[in-house]
Structure 1
Amino acid sequence: MNIIILGAGQVGTSLAELLAIENNDVTVVDLDRTNLQRLQDRLDIRTVNGHASNPDVLNQAGLEEADMLIAATHQDDTNIVACQLAQIMHKTPTKIARVRSQSYLNHPELFDRQQNTDAIPINVLISPETLVKNYILQLINYPGSLQVVDFSEGKVRLVAIRAHSGGMIVGKKIREIKQHLPDGVHHRIVAIYRRDEIVIPTGNVTIQVGDEVFFLAEPFNIPKIVQELRRDKLRPSRNIMIAGGGNIGFNLAKELEKEHQVKIIDHNMTQARKISEQLEQAIVIRGDVSDKSLLIEENIDEIDLFLALTNSDEANIISGMLAKKLGVRRVIALVNNQSYVDLIQLNSIDVAISADQITTSRLLHYMRQGDTVKAFTLRRGAAEAMEVIVHGSENSSEIIGKTIGEIQWPTSITIGCIVRENEVLFSHRDLTIEAEDHVILFLNDPSQAAEITELFTPKEKRSWF
């Protein structure tokens, strides 16, 4: 694909890295020559220095030949205008815009071209703050989880959990786990990471303390499975403290205050006063999130969950580690600098999340050719989970009518389950694939995604590979 990315910030850079590896023709536009030079030094891409909503700059970037425009600058207005220009000048097929302002997001009719042909011509609207908020809510709904991803409109979920000493299935082989779960609790372990190395989850693999276990299950069964992997009795997070009253922190507090006891801390007096007027039950505190005396005064030892969501990675790390030391059961911190992540997850912060990685994952399936309806990066890009629809017939497809055990799959994948209409069928060798099945799979080598796409595509439609 020929893809133009506007903006060489963290989101634009993450996308460029991902797309360049997969042999797309990528061009990045940015005003900062230094950022562009850094990208060009390590990636096989084109760069153009200039303003992202300048028609001449867009033409210089090759807009006429582009299959996709991703407007990911820090300025909403620039992103929106660039998409409008792309439609007017060359009718670019797919236009994706990053939009952060709540004023735009509160008026979806501005972007709904199905209802209004005069609406702003954006195919996909991305709000990083909303994506992060929803991501955190999923982690709150499943205490102890490291990552939660929905597939097939929520019929099945992929959950990552760390195995703890004392968990009933720790020390058990995967094929023995079923007998330790209640009747009717079905699942499929699709990957295990052990000290940053992938362990292929065959029946003879034994779960060890510290393993990061990825499993697929239907939502109502997930708490039962998680409980077996943990040594402690998991309970919902009733008392929650949020560090940072920006868009993410405020919107989370608004969502959580109805059913949780919420405190939110922000250092800015104006911001603290503004959000206190808009929140109904949450307590708003003006202060420094890394002030030990303040945290103790606010009974930090009674807090079940501490969310570090300021605009500063360093403040989030320090406040998160301090909160854990002062007795908080669980800490989730927003950390975009990937060089910090491995270090801090070994030092008391339970989950480090990246807005850039979450945003990249939200966009990933739009980059995939064929009928990939969802793709999500896992472990900061080291692996990928995909949902692909099977099209064709037994005559045109290499997989329809065959059992999972008969198909020559790429070496790095594990088939998790098939969603057939409203039924979830967990993978086994004798399960036959049918047309229109939704196949959920785990890919521990994302570079093999193109092989998956080709395998799922009917023969008559492969001319574009």
Structure 2
Amino acid sequence: MKIIILGAGQVGGTLAENLAHENNDITIIDINSERLRHLQDKFDLRVVIGHGSYPKILREAGADDADMLVAVTNSDETNMIACQIAYSLFNTPNKIARIRASEYIKETEKLFTYDHIPIDYLISPEQLLIDYIYKLIQYPGALQVVNFASGKVSIVAAQAYYGGSLIGNSLSNLHEHLPNIDTRIAAIFRQDKPIKPQGSTIIKAGDEIFFIVATEHIRATMSELQRLEKPYKRIMIVGGGNVGAGLAKQIEKYYNVKLIERNQERAIELAKLLYDTIVFYGDASDQELLAEEHIEQTDVFIALTNDDEANIMSAMLAKKMGAKKVMVLIQRTAYVDLVQGGVIDIAISPQQATISALLGHVRKADIINVSSLRLRNGVAEAIEAIVHGDKNTSKVVGKKISDIKLPPGTIIGAIVRKDKVIIANNNHIIEQNDHIIMFITDKKYVPEVEKIFQPSPFFL
């Protein structure tokens, strides 16, 4: 696939890294020559220096025959204009844009149509983050929660602790403990090393477990791995930007929410915008403020400012003063694995959420949902594919899972057939129009998985 990426920042660079390893023809455009040089030296891709919305620059990047334009610069306006020009001058078939400003997002249905601004798919990083954090709030104790098949199936990461029924027992005991619930263990990591899940595998405290289950059974399955935490009630948010304010707005009807904002004007504005959230003007690293607001009674403290160091330090202070759980937003991906699992319970990467959404629209075959999952030793991928074709045109239709030659580290975890969730085993037979949920521990095998689920060109 021939793809033009506008913007060589963290999102554009990470996307280029993901796609360059999958035999795509990638060209990346940016005004920062140093960033481009770094990406060109590191990956096999073309670079063009210039403004991504200029017709001349797009033409130089190969827009005449590009399959896709992905506009992820820091400017909403540049991204929108680039999509318009790609449509009007080059008839680019697929156009994706990152739009951050809520003023644009509010008018999505009227603005982003082929009669006005022709964008095929809109990425809103702030809303993606809000949704991601909300799932973590809904399932206390989970490290990651990703939904598939319109929310019917989830892949969940959780750490095994003493108090969980399965600790010290083999995986084969899981069905005995949960006789009416099907679940599939997709991956286990012990001391940063992967362990192949087998019936005889003994679960130990400290193991990080990735499991696939019908969403309604997440909490029951987690209770096997750890003493189930009580639902959160009291939440403190630090940072009243788009993410912090948006999260407060989404949860304030269901939880007791306090929000700390260091900018006085913004704090006053938020106090008017948020009806059930108590807004404070102050610094989250102020011990007196945290003590006055009974930080020791806080179920979860969530630091969401644009400053990684401020987020980390305020969360560490909150934890020391008695907050039961702390989450932090971290822009620099190199920091994420450094801080999570110690004082910091959960580190949240905005790039990870955005890249997952983008990859779902770039993958080949009919792959409709992609999630980039952070593992102890790298990044895995979970994908949802729709099966097309018949026994003559498809490599999977009519076959048992055990007869499908999947790449190493690839597990078919669940099948959604119409409205029915089937937790997969080797004897299940794939049918046309099934939604297949797969877990891939090594991303280099994603192209092979795509080929397996692509019907032959004779399928119509």
Return the TM-score normalized by structure 2: 0.97
RMSD of aligned C-alpha atoms? 1.4
SS for the counterpart of 1:333 is: strand
Aligned residue in 2 for 1:455: 452
In the TM superposition, residue 192 of structure 1 has moved relative to its aligned partner by 1.2
Aligned residue in 2 for 1:172: 169
User: What does 1:354-365 correspond to in 2, within 5 Å?
Assistant: 354-365=349-360
Moved more, 96-105 or 251-260: 251-260
Q: Deviations over 1:38-90 (max 9, x none)?
A: 21221111111111211111111111121111110111111100000000111
Aligned residue in 2 for 1:228: 224
User: What does 1:281-300 correspond to in 2, within 5 Å?
Assistant: 281-300=276-295
Q: 2:334 is matched by which residue type in structure 1? A: S
Q: 1:392 aligns with which of 365, 375, 389?
A: 389
Partners of 1:68 and 1:134 in 2: CA distance? 26
The answer (yes or no) to whether the contact 1:109–1:119 under 8 Å persists in 2 is: no
Partners of 1:461 and 1:242 in 2: CA distance? 54
Partners of 1:339 and 1:412 in 2: CA distance? 25
In the TM superposition, residue 461 of structure 1 has moved relative to its aligned partner by 5.2
Aligned residue in 1 for 2:320: 325
Aligned residue in 2 for 1:155: 152
Q: 1:61 is matched by which residue type in structure 2? A: A
User: What does 1:210-359 correspond to in 2, within 5 Å?
Assistant: 210-231=206-227, 233-359=228-354
> 2:193 aligned with 1:197, yes or no?
yes
Q: Deviations over 1:307-351 (max 9, x none)?
A: 110011111111111111111111111112122112211321111
The answer (yes or no) to whether the contact 2:72–2:98 under 8 Å persists in 1 is: yes
Q: Deviations over 1:377-433 (max 9, x none)?
A: 111662111111111111222222121112222122011011111111111121111
Aligned residue in 2 for 1:19: 19
Aligned residue in 2 for 1:72: 72
Q: 1:459 is matched by which residue type in structure 2? A: S
Partners of 2:340 and 2:264 in 1: CA distance? 32
Partners of 1:161 and 1:240 in 2: CA distance? 21
Equivalent pairs, count: 457
Aligned residue in 2 for 1:371: 366
The answer (yes or no) to whether the contact 2:159–2:225 under 8 Å persists in 1 is: yes
Structure 1 unaligned residues grouped into runs of 5+: none
Q: 2:37 is matched by which residue type in structure 1? A: Q
Partners of 2:458 and 2:232 in 1: CA distance? 50
User: What does 1:413-432 correspond to in 2, within 5 Å?
Assistant: 413-432=410-429
Q: 2:108 is matched by which residue type in structure 1? A: P
The answer (yes or no) to whether the contact 1:14–1:357 under 8 Å persists in 2 is: no
Q: 1:5 is matched by which residue type in structure 2? A: I
Aligned residue in 2 for 1:98: 98
Q: 2:52 is matched by which residue type in structure 1? A: A
Structure 2 unaligned residues grouped into runs of 5+: none
Q: Deviations over 1:249-305 (max 9, x none)?
A: 001111111121111001111111111111112111111112222211211001001
SS for the counterpart of 2:361 is: helix
Partners of 2:87 and 2:245 in 1: CA distance? 35
Partners of 1:348 and 1:279 in 2: CA distance? 30
Q: 2:120 aligns with which of 104, 120, 123?
A: 123
Q: 2:141 aligns with which of 134, 144, 147?
A: 144
In the TM superposition, residue 459 of structure 1 has moved relative to its aligned partner by 2.8
Q: 1:252 is matched by which residue type in structure 2? A: L
Partners of 2:394 and 2:334 in 1: CA distance? 43
Q: Deviations over 1:116-171 (max 9, x none)?
A: x4121000001100000011111111111111111111111111111112211011
Aligned residue in 1 for 2:109: 109
Partners of 2:458 and 2:233 in 1: CA distance? 52
SS for the counterpart of 1:393 is: coil
Q: 2:36 is matched by which residue type in structure 1? A: L
The answer (yes or no) to whether the contact 1:110–1:120 under 8 Å persists in 2 is: no
Partners of 1:192 and 1:347 in 2: CA distance? 19
> 2:203 aligned with 1:184, yes or no?
no
SS for the counterpart of 1:153 is: coil
Partners of 2:128 and 2:251 in 1: CA distance? 16
The answer (yes or no) to whether the contact 2:172–2:200 under 8 Å persists in 1 is: yes
Partners of 2:58 and 2:457 in 1: CA distance? 35
Q: 2:434 is matched by which residue type in structure 1? A: D
Q: Deviations over 1:208-241 (max 9, x none)?
A: 111111111112211111122113x411111000
Partners of 1:389 and 1:54 in 2: CA distance? 37
The answer (yes or no) to whether the contact 2:393–2:458 under 8 Å persists in 1 is: no
Q: 2:276 is matched by which residue type in structure 1? A: Q
Aligned-pair identity (%): 46
SS for the counterpart of 1:228 is: coil
In the TM superposition, residue 112 of structure 1 has moved relative to its aligned partner by 4.8
The answer (yes or no) to whether the contact 1:198–1:444 under 8 Å persists in 2 is: no
Partners of 1:101 and 1:160 in 2: CA distance? 31
Partners of 2:129 and 2:19 in 1: CA distance? 22
